A and B are shown apart, each in its own frame.
Chain A
Amino acid sequence: MIATLAQRLKAVLPDQAVITDPVRLRTYECDGLTYHRATPGVVVLPESAEEIAAVVRLCQEFQVPFVARGSGTGLSGGALPRSDGVLIVTSRMRRILDIDLPNRRAVVEPGVTNLAITEAVRDAGYYYAPDPSSQQICSIGGNVAENSGGAHCLKYGFTVNHVLALELVTPDGDIVELTELDDGYDLLGAFIGSEGTLGIATKITVRLSRAPETVTTLLAAFATIEGGGTAVSSIIGAGIVPAAIEMMDALAIEAAEAAVRCEYPAGAGAVLIVELDGPTAEVARQFAAVERICREAGSFEIRVAASAEERAAIWRGRKSAFAAVGRISPAYIVQDGVVPRTALPEVLAGIDRLQEEFGIRVANVFHAGDGNLHPLVLFDDAEPGQGERAETVSGRILDLCIEHGGSITGEHGVGVDKSRYMPRMFTDDDLATMQLVRCAFDPGYLSNPGKIFPTPRLCGEVPRVRKGPHPHEAELF
C-alpha cells in the first residue's frame, strides 16, 4: 500500500521530494529522543502549503497516518514516524515571507529556525522572544507544535503568547487560517501545543519584540542548592520578575566544566544565573536588589557580565548542559517536570532520596523561576539493569512533580514518551474531553496518531443534531 501511495505522491510532488530509499528513510527514524525509533514508510519534502494539502488528502484517501517533522530536535518523540505512514518534513520550507516592523510581526514558513527570525530583525532592534536552547536548529513549526519555551519565558511567556496567526493544513487537507483577530473560540491557542495532532502549520505569523534597552546578567555561586533556592524565593518575593532565573547543581556544573570549560566558581554546590532586562532605570534598581538578596542568601561569589561576551560566557555553561552530561555519563534521560516554585526544596530533597535508593546519579538543571526542572538521569547502558533503574527514577521524579501539584512537562511536550503518565495527571473525563477537540479536527485519527493520549477516543460519526437540521448547515462545507 505504501508503495502505491508513494507512486501517487510522486504525481503531486517533484520526484526528488518523495523519499523511499531505505537508507535515506533511516535518517528520519527518530527525533531528539533517540531511544524511540521507527523507519517511516515514506518521507516527503514539500515546498508549499498546497503540496502539504495534496499529501494529506492522499493520506486520507489511503487512510494512512501522517506525521509532521521540523528539525527533529523534539525531546518527547513527537516526530517519531510511523512505518505504515508518511513523514512530512518541512526542511524545504525555510523562507521568511515578510518582515513587517510597523506591525511588529514576521510571517515565516514552518521550517524556518527559531534563531533565524531574530537574526533577520536584530539590526533593526527587534527579536523573537521565545528562546529554546535548541534555537539554532529547531523549527518554528516545531515550536508551535510543542508550545516551546526557553530560559526567558519567565518574563515573556511561551510560543503561544507570541504567535499571532497561523495557516494550517487540516487533517482533511483544507488550508485554513487561524488568527487572533477572529472572534470566537481561541482555536489558534488550542492548536499551539497540540504536537502535530490537529494538522500541520504551514505559515506562521509571529510577534516581534523590541530589544530591551539594557540586559544585565549575574552569576551567583552558592555552597548549597538550598542557598540558591532561598535566593530565588526572595527575588520573586521582592516583586521582581527577572527575564530568566536558571539554576544548576554541582553535578551539572561538573559536566558543563568538562564540556565547555565554563569556569564557574570553584566549590559551588549550585550556581544561579539571573538576567534582568528592560529600561535602564528599572534594571538598575532591580539589579541592586538582586545582588543584595543573593549575598544575604549566602552567595560566596557574584560575577556580573560587563559585556556581551561575558554574558555569553555565563550562559555557555547553562546552554550546553544537556549535551555536556554526555561527558560524565555514557547515557542519560532528560526530564521536564514542573513544580510550584515553593515546592522546589521538597522536590529536590525527594530527588536526592531517589538517587540514593536506586544508586543512580541525577544532575539538576532548571528554570528555577517557573519551577521547570530538567533533571538529567545518568546511567550506563552497558551495565545490565541500569537503564531500567534510570527509567524508574525518571518516572518517580514525575510522580513527585504531580504530587506537588505540578506537571509532567513544562516545554518538551508529551509525545510518545510521556503519554503513559497523562492518566496520573488527568482524569479519564479530562482526557476524553480534550480528545473531543481532536475529533473535531481529525475524526479519522490520522494526524500524528499515538501521541499525547495513552488511549485514543473513538470519534464516531459527527453526532447528529437531534432537533431538525443545523440552521446553517447549507453553508458548512
Chain B
Amino acid sequence: MADEALASTGVTLRPAGAQDAVAGVRPRWVALPESTEEVAALLRVAAERDLAVVPVGGGTKLDWGPPPERCDLLVDLCCLSEVVEHVAGDLVLRVQAGITLETLRDRLAIAGQELALDVPVPGTTVGGLLATALAGPRRFRYGTARDLLIGITVVLADGTVARSGGKVVKNVAGYDLGKLFTGSYGTLGVITEANFRLHPLPPERRWVTAEYGTDVRRGRELRREFPVDPGPLLQELAASQAEPTAIELDWADSGDVYTLSVLVEGAAAEERAEAVRAIMTGAELGDKPPAWWGRLPEHVTLAEIRVPPGVAGQAVREVAGADLPGRRLRGSAGAGVFHLGLRDGAGVTGIRARLAPLGGRVTVLAGPDGGADRWGPIGALGLMRRVKERFDPDRRMSPGRFAGGI
C-alpha cells in the first residue's frame, strides 16, 4: 500500500483536505519533510508507487496556473525553512526552500544585508519564488531571482539529489541547474535549497512619485502637465544617471490618471532623488513607498505582460485602448513587465494580439483564462519538452502545470 510505503519514510504525513487542493485538484496525502533527504525518501516511494507529486511552498499561488492532471502527494516545504549558512563577510546565503522572504528579510537585516528581491505576494517562499520566476519592482536594477541565485539543491522525480553552482558568487563549473529550475512550476523536481548572492542594505531610500493624466477620455481636464505617452519619460528615467533602482507605474483604477513612482537607493539617495524629481514634473519626494508599491493589482484573472522596455509606454497605451472591463494595470514600467488585473479572462486574447507586434508576451498567471491559451506562444517549447522528458519521464512531477501540457 502506498500509505504504508509513505509512512515507512518516517516523514510527517496527513490526509489531504479540501484546503490542500491544487487549482481544484485534491491530493490524497500531504507530507511535511524537514530535510532534503526526507524529500528524497518521499520521492523514491512516489516513484515506486507511481504517485503524482506537487511541491508547495507558502501555498500562496496554488490556485495559480492550470490544474495538475493528477495529484496524489502534496510535498509541503513549510518545515524546510532554515537558514543553513549566512556568511556576512562573503555576502552569500544558503537557505532551505520553504523559508519565506519576509522571515529572510528580517534575519538578514540584522547583519545590514538583504536579498535584493521583492516579495510579490505575502508569504512567498524562496522555492515558490524560483519556481514561478515572479519578480517585483527592483528587477530593474538587480534582475530577478535567477540573477542572484548562485547554487541550488533539487530532488528529482526518482529521488536523486543533485546540486549545482555553489556558495561563491563567481562560478562557471558545470551546467547551471538553478537556471533550469527557475520558472519550472514544480514540473522538473523539488527545489529544497538555494544559495544566493546578497547585497548590503542601502543606507537610504527615496521614492519620487507623480501622477499623470492619460490620453484616454480627453474630455476631462487633467490635473497635471503630462506626456501623452509615458514612453519618453520612462526612457529618460531609465537612462538617468541618478541610477534609480525601480521605475513603477500604477494605473489600478478605472480613472484617467496613472502614477509613476521611482525608487532611488544607496549613498546620496536624497541628492539623486532630487535629480529624478527634476525630470518628473510635479513629483513629490518621500522616504516611504506609495501604498500600492510592489503589490499585485486586485484581480479575478491576473495576467503578466512582458515587453521590451523601450515600448513599455506603447504597451500602456495599448492596454488603455483595449476593451478590458475592470482593468487594473501595475508594474515595472522601467523593465517592461506589468501585471494586469481583470474581472475575467475575456480580454486576454485581444490584448495579446495588440502586444504581439511590439514583441510582447501575455501570460495568464491566475484565474479564469477566458478560453485563451494561458501561456501564449513559447519558441523553445520543443526543447522544454525534451528537458521534461529527461528529468521526469513518467510525468509525475506537477503534470500539466506548465505550458503545452508539461
Contacts and interface: CB of A to CB of B under 8 A. Distances in A.
A408 to B, nearest CB: 5
Interface string B270-305: 011001000000000000000000000000000000
A274 B140 CA distance: 26
A100 B308 CA distance: 11
Contacts of B161: 429
B89 A466 contact: no
Interface string A416-433: 001000100111011111
Nearest to B242: A279
Contact of B272 (A279, A411, A432): A279
A282 B266 contact: yes
Contacts of A33: none
A437 B173 contact: no
B224 interface: no
A341 B90 contact: yes
Interface size class of A (residues with CB under 8 A): 35 or more
A281 B179 contact: no
B243 A433 contact: no
Contact of A187 (B89, B156, B170, B380): B380
A207 B169 CA distance: 21
Interface stretch (A80-88, A101-109, A354-362): A101-109
Interface stretch (B21-29, B99-107, B197-205, B212-220): B197-205
A410 B381 CA distance: 31
B170 A367 contact: yes
A36 B281 CA distance: 62
A100 B310 contact: yes
Nearest to B182: A186
Contact of A342 (B89, B163, B170): B89
A287 B330 CA distance: 37
Interface string A166-205: 0000100010111101111111111011100000000000
B172 A411 contact: yes
Interface in A56-99: none
A442 to B, nearest CB: 10
B339 interface: no
A38 interface: no
Contacts of A187: 179-180, 380, 383-384, 387
A413 interface: yes
Given A186-B146, A236-B91, A476 B164 contact: no
B172 A465 contact: no
A146 interface: yes
| Most chain B CB inside 10 Å of its own CB: which residue of A102, A185, A284, A464 | A185
Contact of A476 (B188, B238, B382, B391): B382
A239 B201 contact: yes
Interface string A116-157: 000000000100000000000000000000110100010001
A466 B310 contact: no
B47 to A, nearest CB: 11
Nearest to B169: A370
Contacts of B96: none
Interface stretch (B3-11, B318-326, B343-351, B398-406): B398-406
Contact of A186 (B87, B179, B394, B403): B179
Interface string B84-123: 0001011110000000000000000000100000000000
A190 B241 contact: no
A146 B87 contact: no
A212 interface: yes
B318 to A, nearest CB: 16
A167 to B, nearest CB: 10
A339 B92 CA distance: 12
A409 B384 contact: no
Interface string B248-277: 000000000000000000111001100100
Contact of B311 (A103, A192, A425): A103
A256 B133 CA distance: 45
Contacts of A370: 168-170
Contacts of A194: 175
- Report, as a range, how many residues of chain B touch the other chain: 35 or more
A114 interface: no
A183 B395 contact: no
A176 B383 CA distance: 9
Contacts, number: 275
Contacts of B394: 465-467
Nearest to A189: B179
A411 B170 contact: yes
Contacts of B267: 281-282, 285-286
Contacts of A104: 238, 309-310
B18 interface: no
Interface string B13-50: 00000000000000000000000000000000000001
Contacts of B379: 176-179, 182
Nearest to A418: B173
A10 B64 CA distance: 53
A437 to B, nearest CB: 5
A157 B147 contact: yes
A414 B308 contact: no
A49 to B, nearest CB: 14
B164 A434 contact: yes
Given A437-B390, A463-B390, A181 B173 contact: no
Contacts of B271: 279, 281
A375 interface: no
Interface in B173-188: 173-177, 179-185, 188
A212 B241 contact: yes
A440 B387 contact: yes
A359 B50 CA distance: 60
Contacts of B266: 278, 282
Contacts of A192: 176
Nearest to B184: A185
A313 interface: no
Nearest to A164: B308
A193 B154 CA distance: 20
Nearest to A153: B170
Interface in A349-386: 367, 370-372
Interface string A389-429: 00000000000000001111111111000100010011101
A396 B306 CA distance: 48
Interface string A209-233: 0101100000000000000000001
A176 B170 contact: no
A394 to B, nearest CB: 16
B168 A407 contact: yes
A426 B311 contact: no
Interface string B365-406: 000000000011011111111110111011100000011111
A432 B50 CA distance: 23
B170 A193 contact: no
Contacts of A147: 172
21 contacts: A177-B380, A181-B306, A184-B185, A185-B184, A187-B180, A189-B176, A190-B179, A192-B176, A239-B112, A279-B271, A338-B168, A340-B87, A370-B169, A406-B166, A407-B171, A414-B172, A414-B174, A426-B164, A426-B174, A433-B154, A434-B175
Interface of A: 100-105, 125, 146-147, 149, 153, 157-158, 160-161, 170, 174, 176-179, 181-190, 192-194, 210, 212-213, 233, 236-237, 239-241, 278-282, 284-286, 338-342, 367, 370-372, 405-414, 418, 422, 425-427, 429-434, 436-441, 452, 459, 462-467, 470-472, 475-477
Given A186-B182, A282-B243, 18 more contacts: A100-B308, A103-B311, A104-B238, A160-B147, A170-B383, A181-B360, A182-B378, A185-B180, A279-B243, A282-B267, A340-B90, A367-B170, A406-B166, A409-B172, A439-B390, A466-B393, A467-B394, A470-B405
> 3 closest A-B pairs (Cβ-Cβ)?
A189-B179, A239-B200, A102-B310
